[in-house]
C-alpha cells in the first residue's frame, strides 16, 4: 500500500513538472506581447520586463480592427459548422463499419486505411476542389478540403463503437421496432460522448489552426481565416524589414513593434482555443484510449 502511494506521488510530481514546463513558454509569450518593443530589443525576453506596453495590440486592433474581427468571425463560424458536419459524417461512416453484418466491411475499412497512407497529390487535390466542386472563394473551401473527413478519426470512432456499444442493446432496440436511424440517434450517440468529445477536439483544433485552405482557395479577403491573416501579416512584416533600405521604409518599420507583435499574434491565435479544452477534458482520455484499441 505504501509503495503504491509513493508511486502515485512520483507520477503526480512528474506530470506536474511536465505541465509546468509546457505552461512556462506560453506565459513568457503572453508577457512578451505586453512588453515594450525597446525593452525586448535591449534586454531580451523576460518574465519581469523593464517596461510594459500595449503597442502590439494597439497596432493589430486599432489600425484596422474590422479585418481581425471579421477573420475571427469567419474562423469561429468555420470551426462550429465544420465541427458539427465532421462529427456527423465521421460517425455515420464509422457506425456501419462497426457492425459485423455490413457487406464488404473489410474492403471498406481497408479503403479508409489506405487513404491515411496515400493520397492523389496536391495538384489533383486542388483540381478536384477548385474545378469539379468549384469551391474557390466560398466558405466551403475552409470546411471541406482535408478537414471534413479524416480516416484516422473514422477508425478511432469505429473501434469505439465496436468495443463499447453492447450488441444486445441494438438487438433489443430492433425487437422493440426501432430503425437504424433511431438506434443511432437515441442509443449510440448518447453512449458515445467520450469518443465524440475526443474527435471533436481534434477537429476543433484542425479547423481553428488551418491556414492552408485560405492560401490555396481564397482570393477574397472577406473569407480569410484568422490564422491565414496573422500568417500573412507576419510575412508582410518580414518582407518590409528585409527591404527597409530607404529612409521612409526604415522609419515605418521603426513604428511597428515587430517582436512584440509576433507574440501578440500567437496569443490572439491560440487564446480562444485554449478555452475550449476544458469542455472536452472530461471525456478526452477515455475516448482516446478506448477508441485506439485495435478492433
Per residue in 77-87, pLDDT (tens digit) is 999 999 999 99
Number of domains in the chain: 2
| Residue bearing the bigger pLDDT, 93 or 220 | 93
The pLDDT assigned to 49 comes to 83
Give the percent of the chain with pLDDT over 70.
81
User: What sections of the chain are H helices per DSSP?
Assistant: 2-33, 37-43, 55-57, 65-97, 105-117, 122-127, 151-164, 167-175, 180-183, 189-191, 193-209, 212-217, 226-242, 247-255, 258-291
Tell me, what's the pLDDT at 88?
93
**Better pLDDT: 152 or 238:** 152
| Structural domain that includes position 20 | 1-58
Q: Is the pLDDT of residue 64 over 70?
A: no
Instruction: Indicate whether 178 and 54 sit together in one domain.
Output: no
pLDDT category of residue 292 using cuts at 50, 70 and 90: very low
Residues 108 and 40 in one domain: no
pLDDT tens column, 221-271: 888 888 888 888 777 666 556 655 554 555 555 566 677 877 887 887 776
CA distances to 52, 114, 226, 257 from 265, rounded to whole Å, are: 17, 37, 10, 12
Express each pLDDT in 113-123 by its tens digit.
888 888 878 88
Please indicate, yes or no, whether residues 51 and 86 belong to a single structural domain of this protein: no
| pLDDT higher at 94 or 63 | 94
Residue finishing a domain among 58, 73, 105? 58
263: domain CATH number is 1.10.3720.10
Point out the domain boundary residue: 41, 58, 75. Answer: 58
Helix (H, G, I), strand (E, B) or coil at 293: coil
Q: Is the pLDDT of residue 290 over 60?
A: no
Chain mean pLDDT for the chain: 81
**Do residue 153 and residue 248 come from a single domain?**
yes
- For residues 126 and 37, what is the distance between their CA atoms, to the nearest angstrom? 41
Rounded Cα distance, 88 and 4, in Å: 43
- 10 Å CB burial of residue 33 (0-12, 13-18, 19+) is buried
pLDDT beyond 80 at 275 = no
pLDDT at residue 191 tops 50: yes
Together in a domain, 32 and 72: no
Instruction: Between 257 and 40, name the one with better pLDDT.
Output: 40
Q: Does 218 lie in the same domain as 187?
A: yes
pLDDT at 264: 81
- Report the pLDDT value the prediction gives residue 289, as an integer from 0 to 100: 53
Same domain? For 31 and 121 the reply is no
**230 CB contacts (<8 Å, ≥6 apart)?**
265, 268, 269
Model confidence over 193-205: pLDDT tens digits?
Answer: 888 888 888 898 8
Among 48-52, 60-64, 211-215, 249-253, name the one with the lowest average pLDDT.
Answer: 249-253
Longest dimension (CA), the chain: 82
For position 69, what pLDDT does the model report?
82
**CB contact at 8 A, 88 and 199:** no
50 and 103 fall within a common domain? no
- Predicted pLDDT of residue 143: 94
Q: Which residue has the higher pLDDT, 150 or 245?
A: 150
Instruction: Give tens-digit pLDDT for 7-38.
Output: 678 888 888 888 888 888 888 888 888 888 88
Q: Give the pLDDT confidence score for residue 244 in this predicted structure.
A: 54
The mean pLDDT of 127-144, rounded to a whole number, is 91
More confident residue, 58 or 110: 110
Q: Distance (Å, rounded) from C-alpha 2 to C-alpha 156?
A: 37
Whether residues 109 and 254 fall in one domain: yes
What pLDDT was estimated at residue 83? 92
Amino acid at each position: 500500500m505504501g509503495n503504491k502511494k509513493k508511486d502515485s506521488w512520483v507520477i503526480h510530481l512528474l506530470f506536474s513538472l511536465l505541465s509546468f514546463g509546457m505552461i512556462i513558454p506560453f506565459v513568457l509569450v503572453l508577457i512578451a506581447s505586453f512588453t515594450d518593443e525597446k525593452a525586448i530589443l535591449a534586454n531580451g525576453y523576460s518574465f519581469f520586463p523593464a517596461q510594459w506596453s500595449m503597442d502590439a495590440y494597439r497596432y493589430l486592433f486599432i489600425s484596422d480592427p474590422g479585418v481581425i474581427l471579421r477573420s475571427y468571425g469567419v474562423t469561429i463560424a468555420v470551426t462550429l459548422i465544420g465541427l458539427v458536419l465532421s462529427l456527423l459524417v465521421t460517425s455515420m461512416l464509422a457506425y456501419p463499419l462497426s457492425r459485423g453484418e455490413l457487406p464488404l466491411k473489410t474492403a471498406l475499412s481497408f479503403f479508409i486505411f489506405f487513404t491515411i497512407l496515400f493520397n492523389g497529390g496536391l495538384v489533383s487535390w486542388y483540381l478536384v476542389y477548385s474545378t469539379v466542386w468549384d469551391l474557390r472563394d466560398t466558405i466551403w473551401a475552409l470546411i471541406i478540403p482535408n478537414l471534413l473527413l479524416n480516416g484516422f478519426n473514422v477508425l478511432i470512432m469505429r473501434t469505439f463503437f465496436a468495443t463499447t456499444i453492447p450488441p444486445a442493446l441494438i438487438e433489443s432496440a430492433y425487437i422493440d421496432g426501432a430503425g437504424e436511424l433511431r438506434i443511432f440517434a437515441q442509443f449510440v450517440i448518447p453512449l458515445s460522448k467520450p469518443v465524440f468529445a475526443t474527435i471533436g477536439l481534434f477537429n476543433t483544433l484542425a479547423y481553428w489552426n488551418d491556414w492552408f485552405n485560405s492560401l490555396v482557395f481564397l482570393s477574397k479577403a472577406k473569407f480569410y481565416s484568422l490564422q491565414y491573416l496573422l500568417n500573412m501579416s507576419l510575412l508582410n512584416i518580414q518582407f518590409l524589414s528585409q527591404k527597409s533600405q530607404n529612409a521612409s521604409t526604415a522609419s515605418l518599420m521603426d513604428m511597428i513593434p515587430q517582436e512584440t507583435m509576433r507574440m501578440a499574434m500567437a496569443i490572439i491565435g491560440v487564446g480562444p482555443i485554449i478555452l475550449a479544452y476544458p469542455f472536452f477534458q472530461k471525456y478526452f482520455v477515455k475516448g482516446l484510449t478506448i477508441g485506439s484499441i485495435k478492433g
